Amino acid sequence: MKKILLLGAGRSAASLIRYLLTHAAANGWHLTIGDVAVEHLQQTVAGLPYAEVLVFDVHNRAQRAAEVSKADLVISMLPAVFHPEVAKECVKQGKHLLTASYVTPVLRELHEEALQKNLLLLMESGLDPGIDHMSAMAVLQQLRGKGARLLSFKSYTGGLVAPESDNNPWHYKFTWNPRNVVLAGQSTSKYIQDGTYKYIPYPQLFRRTETIQVKGYGAFEGYANRDSLSYREPYGLTEIPTMLRGTLRRPGYCAAWDALVQLGMTDDSYQLENSENLTCRQFTEAFLPPASGDLQQVQQRVGAYLNLPIGSDVLQKLEWLGLFTDAPVALARATPAQVLEKILQKKWRLESGDKDMIVMQHQFVYELNGKKRELKSSLVVKGEDEVHTAMAKTVGLPVGILAKLLLQGRISQRGVVIPIHPAIYEPVLEELKQYGVNFVEQEREW
Amino acid sequence: MKKILLLGAGRSAASLIRYLLTHAAANGWHLTIGDVAVEHLQQTVAGLPYAEVLVFDVHNRAQRAAEVSKADLVISMLPAVFHPEVAKECVKQGKHLLTASYVTPVLRELHEEALQKNLLLLMESGLDPGIDHMSAMAVLQQLRGKGARLLSFKSYTGGLVAPESDNNPWHYKFTWNPRNVVLAGQSTSKYIQDGTYKYIPYPQLFRRTETIQVKGYGAFEGYANRDSLSYREPYGLTEIPTMLRGTLRRPGYCAAWDALVQLGMTDDSYQLENSENLTCRQFTEAFLPPASGDLQQVQQRVGAYLNLPIGSDVLQKLEWLGLFTDAPVALARATPAQVLEKILQKKWRLESGDKDMIVMQHQFVYELNGKKRELKSSLVVKGEDEVHTAMAKTVGLPVGILAKLLLQGRISQRGVVIPIHPAIYEPVLEELKQYGVNFVEQEREW
């Protein structure tokens, strides 16, 4: 009997839980699911001898230690901020850990101790980071095997709404943490292009997009992630002249989001005065120069301020959000970003029956036998419904599969590891195909 | 014999030192000047029985305690970051303290203890903050005395170059800490206009300027300071519908500075890769999208990127800075802001014989006897040369005068205080007139 402790049973854990429960009996697992709220899981585990739920408070040190001590493997789907404490507990007690979150400097410091204790802390094992690493490394290995020299690698991922559920002018709905969407890109974005380091400050980020075509799904626009440089080394691409990692949205999103950025609505650094008494229109007005002349309507004033014609797509998107209405903000001591998040949550909610869609595309340019070629590797995954979303599936399934491989003793790496080793990613990518997580490759001369 | 310990003998202390030495003998003062570098003062104090210089290291706790213990009054012109330590030492040892720096929350916490020990910690006593408080309060007192109701108060200050020494297209030279000029405005600026709170994010700040006319000196442009709200209470203006504090530049400066902001050159949050090997042109290129088509020249590319016509004033100002040249940056592990500061320091240096200029203007709108009136109170001070600058004079003289008043026992306030009390500011403003620091008032119907 192998004991798995899963911490965190939020939205993105639905598919992971289903995977673990499906494979538990055959593999001899016992699964304990801990979260602050577990009522929604009581029925799922009812009558299953190999599963239980547990009200778990990550801040409760004694409980944390006690539960970790009983486990053979800890999987954490908690917010990333809790991972240093969880990881330290695992290392202390000699337990393997599996997460979908980034390796931060604090976590990297545990590498030596984990190695000494023969432990695996396998991080960045969800979608992005996760499937992006695995699928990119698989292509890179194939190209290297042929003797190709890599000239450019660009990789984009987006969590979007599926076309059949897309009924808003932003062509976007929330499928993960809304706060992260609102705050995205606030640090300067860094990448390298033709051997030149490039830096995009926040006020330019949503203007410097590239158009990405995905066969059968049309056009997307990509904006650069904060750090496209740090994966050059783990990917073995330290000499590559061009490398960019980005986020995908539907065309038009970025121009409209840029308007919110330029207004100052994504600012999370200060609290608005009197935010609880503002209407949405007053919230918008707070960012505008004082009214003058005949420009009295807030929509006209936003247009004049940001140089957007009345009737333009951008102004229509802002209007659709309700930013020019007298609806109350009703949020006390709020930052602009918190007010905006509240407004967006009403408008961008995944409704019952809605399907989301994950889109990922890697673009490689390489030289082989004196010829330049481009290879695109694209993934599209649609959700089943608003619970078993494509996001939950693509984040949770690789974690579930890796848990299985780890408990079956098929992963020999130790220390703080990300899934860039063939022995790790090959079986994951293979099994993911059964779930419709399948990359399509297109190649052409460049 | 009263002992004054002056900490910090940098550029802005020149006029203060001259004032203190001039008045020392008659007032029975002994002046000790401590700084990390004091060679430049050896000759100034040579042969003066009432003055000495001292190599002083603010990080040396023992020396700090020893020197403070000998003093009756400590004046600190050190960078503001050192003031918590200096102020705590003063309170501990029961010494009065005088500075030209802002009251921060840490310093405000010393208020009660200072009161109990009958000590005065008189802060914000230079130019801005300092003369701005004193001169504004003097006008406000006069208006209130007449029964006026205040509708609007805007106050602008700028440290600029005098017209006769203005030989560059930015019409600006450094007269104080260049780093602060480069980083100015990075937090969202807050003010209130017609009863509505307004927030200007950094990427809009240098676009939302107002034109300010100063009689005899032409036009200036003002951009909003970070916080125009917190002085409403100390000024007794909690109900005022409009209040703005701003910084003055010559027309055209802000549009060109905005280009640097939009490029990302004022960013201090990350280090450039390989900064030591960049040329100025490559530094500029790092912020541009990759070259494409026939736009190969970096100046053309900046123009196309920021929508600036070739030959425009803004592009000419950037060209004049040398941003399109192959001159080496030669600064290792530098942030963009640090590189920009280095480039600016070469171009915006106050040369031998150059005169600087301080400009301050308060704009009051008030209602009296059913009529609306506007009162402008303006100050222009020019420097003598590149050492006795208008900046050094207007920062140092009020500090010197307040030191005299304090040691003469003419200031009864205690605790952490700023110069908003008539008993403090009236004699200072009166004496400042002798030094040409004189406000001119203009009034008209509004």
Q: Right CATH number for B2-123 from 3.40.50.1820, 2.160.10.10, 3.30.1130.10, 3.40.50.720?
A: 3.40.50.720
pLDDT band at A300 (very low <50, low <70, confident <90, very high): very high
| A-to-B residue pairs, Cβ atoms closer than 8 angstroms | 89
* Type and span of the H or E element at A305: helix A298-306
Q: Model confidence over B47-72: pLDDT tens digits?
A: 999 999 999 999 999 999 999 999 99
- As a whole number of angstroms, the distance between CA A301 and CA A288 comes to 7
Residue A238 CA to its chain's centroid (Å): 25
Average pLDDT, chain A: 95
Q: What percent of chain A has pLDDT over 70?
A: 99
pLDDT band at B295 (very low <50, low <70, confident <90, very high): low
Say whether A204 and B273 touch across the interface (CB within 8 A): no
Q: What residues of chain B lie within 8 A of the CB of A267, using their CB?
A: 188, 199, 201
Q: What residues of chain B lie within 8 A of the CB of A287, using their CB?
A: 198-201
Q: Model confidence over B199-240: pLDDT tens digits?
A: 999 999 999 999 999 999 999 999 999 999 999 999 999 999
Close Cβ partners of B411 (under 8 Å, ≥ 6 residues apart): B120, B122, B402, B405, B423, B424
For the cut 80, the answer to whether the pLDDT of residue A11 exceeds it is: no
Which pLDDT does position A10 carry in this prediction?
Answer: 84
- As a whole number of angstroms, the distance between CA A94 and CA A91 comes to 5
Dihedral over Cα of A221, A225, A229, A232: its sign: negative
Which pLDDT does position A92 carry in this prediction?
Answer: 97
Which pLDDT does position B373 carry in this prediction?
Answer: 97
Q: What angle do CA B428, B431, B432 make, to 5 degrees?
A: 80
Q: Which residue of B has its CA nearest to A210?
A: B289
> 3-state SS string over chain B?
CEEEEEECCCHHHHHHHHHHHHHHHHHCEEEEEEECCCHHHHHHHCCCCCEEEEECCCCCHHHHHHHHHHCCEEEECCCHHHHHHHHHHHHHHCCEEEECCCCCHHHHCCHHHHHHCCCEEECCCEECCEHHHHHHHHHHHHHHHHCCEEEEEEEEEEEEECHHHCCCCCCCCCCCCHHHHHHCCCCCEEEEECCEEEEECHHHHCCCCEEEEECCCEEEEEEECCECCCCCCCCCCCCCCEEEEEEEECCCHHHHHHHHHHHCCCCCCCCCCCHHHCEHHHHHHCCCCCCECCECCHHHHHHHHHCCCCCCHHHHHHHHCCCCCCCECCCCCCCHHHHHHHHHHHHCCCCCCCCEEEEEEEEEEEEECCEEEEEEEEEEEECCCCCCCHHHHHHHHHHHHHHHHHHCCCCCCCEEECCCCHHHHHHHHHHHHCCCCCCEEEEEEC
Question: b/e string for A193-208 if b means 16 or more Cβ within 10 A?
Answer: beebbbbbbbbbbbbb
Q: Model confidence over B242-272: pLDDT tens digits?
A: 999 999 999 999 999 999 999 999 999 999 9
**Helix H segments across A111-165?**
111-116, 131-146
Question: Token pair of B352, please?
Answer: 């031998």
- Give the residue-averaged pLDDT of A342-352: 96
Which pLDDT does position B360 carry in this prediction?
Answer: 98
| C-alpha neighbours within 13 Å on the C-beta side of residue B198 | 22
Contact with chain A for residue B277, Cβ under 8 A: no
- Give the residue-averaged pLDDT of A341-364: 96
pLDDT band at A386 (very low <50, low <70, confident <90, very high): confident
Say whether B286 and A198 touch across the interface (CB within 8 A): yes
- As a whole number of angstroms, the distance between CA A363 and CA A152 comes to 8
* Measured CA distances, B409 to B96, B315, B402, B419, B424 (Å): 12, 56, 11, 16, 11
Residue B210 CA to its chain's centroid (Å): 19
* Measured CA distances, A75 to A17, A387, A435 (Å): 11, 20, 21
> 3-state SS string over A352-396?
CCCCEEEEEEEEEEEEECCEEEEEEEEEEEECCCCCCCHHHHHHH
Determine if residue A274 is left, alpha or beta; phi over 0 gives left, psi from -120 to 50 gives alpha, anything else beta: left
Q: What residues of chain B lie within 8 A of the CB of A261, using their CB?
A: 203
Torsion of CA B120, B126, B128, B131, to 10 degrees: 90
Which pLDDT does position B387 carry in this prediction?
Answer: 86
For A236-271, the DSSP string reads T-TT-SEEEEEEEE-TTHHHHHHHHHHHTTT--SSP
Q: Model confidence over B387-420: pLDDT tens digits?
A: 889 999 999 999 999 999 999 999 999 999 999 9
Q: Model confidence over A42-64: pLDDT tens digits?
A: 999 999 999 999 999 999 999 99
SS3 A12: helix
* Measured CA distances, A284 to A281, A318, B208, B324 (Å): 5, 10, 16, 39
Q: Model confidence over A60-81: pLDDT tens digits?
A: 999 999 999 999 999 999 999 9
Contact with chain B for residue A49, Cβ under 8 A: no
- Give the residue-averaged pLDDT of A323-336: 96
pLDDT band at B294 (very low <50, low <70, confident <90, very high): low
Tally Cβ neighbours within 10 Å of residue A433: 10
Nearest Cα neighbor of A256 from A189, A181, A202, A308 is A308
In whole angstroms, how large is the CA radius of gyration of chain A?
Answer: 23
For the cut 90, the answer to whether the pLDDT of residue A100 exceeds it is: yes
**Domain ranges for chain A:** 2-123, 131-256+351-389+440-445, 271-334
Average pLDDT, chain B: 95
Tell me, which fold does domain B131-256+351-389+440-445 have in CATH?
Answer: Dihydrodipicolinate Reductase; domain 2 (3.30.360)
Task: Please classify residue B131 by burial: count the beta carbons closer than 10 Å to its beta carbon, then call 0-12 exposed, 13-18 middle and 19+ buried.
Answer: buried
For the cut 90, the answer to whether the pLDDT of residue A446 exceeds it is: no
E-assigned strand segments in A20-166: 29-35, 51-55, 73-76, 96-99, 120-122, 149-161
Q: Which residue of B has its CA nearest to A224?
A: B289
Dihedral over Cα of A135, A141, A144, A149: its sign: positive
> Which of A80 and B291 is assigned the larger pLDDT?
A80
Task: Please classify residue A105 by burial: count the beta carbons closer than 10 Å to its beta carbon, then call 0-12 exposed, 13-18 middle and 19+ buried.
Answer: exposed
Contact with chain A for residue B270, Cβ under 8 A: yes
Q: Model confidence over A204-238: pLDDT tens digits?
A: 999 999 999 999 999 999 999 999 999 999 999 99
Token look-up 């592009």 returns B315
Which pLDDT does position B292 carry in this prediction?
Answer: 75
- As a whole number of angstroms, the distance between CA B446 and CA B441 comes to 15
- As a whole number of angstroms, the distance between CA B23 and CA A162 comes to 79
- Give the residue-averaged pLDDT of A158-187: 95
**Nearest-CA distance from B429 to chain A in Å?**
35
- Top residue of A191, A194, A196, A333 to mutate, by most chain B CBs within 10 Å, is A196
Nearest Cα neighbor of A277 from A331, A335, A337, A344 is A331
For the cut 90, the answer to whether the pLDDT of residue B143 exceeds it is: yes
- Top residue of A204, A209, A242 to mutate, by most chain B CBs within 10 Å, is A204
Question: Token pair of B134, please?
Answer: 């004193």
Q: What is the ipTM of this complex?
A: 0.90
Residues within 8 A of A (CB atoms), B 116-145 only: none
Question: Token pair of B390, please?
Answer: 């208008």
Say whether A203 and B229 touch across the interface (CB within 8 A): no
- Give the residue-averaged pLDDT of B106-125: 97
- As a whole number of angstroms, the distance between CA A280 and CA A326 comes to 6
Which pLDDT does position A295 carry in this prediction?
Answer: 62
For the cut 80, the answer to whether the pLDDT of residue A168 exceeds it is: yes
For the cut 80, the answer to whether the pLDDT of residue B296 exceeds it is: no
Question: Token pair of B50, please?
Answer: 């009432």
Contact with chain B for residue A195, Cβ under 8 A: no
β-strand partners of B378: B361, B440
Close Cβ partners of A398 (under 8 Å, ≥ 6 residues apart): A100, A125, A126, A127, A130, A131, A134, A419, A428, A432
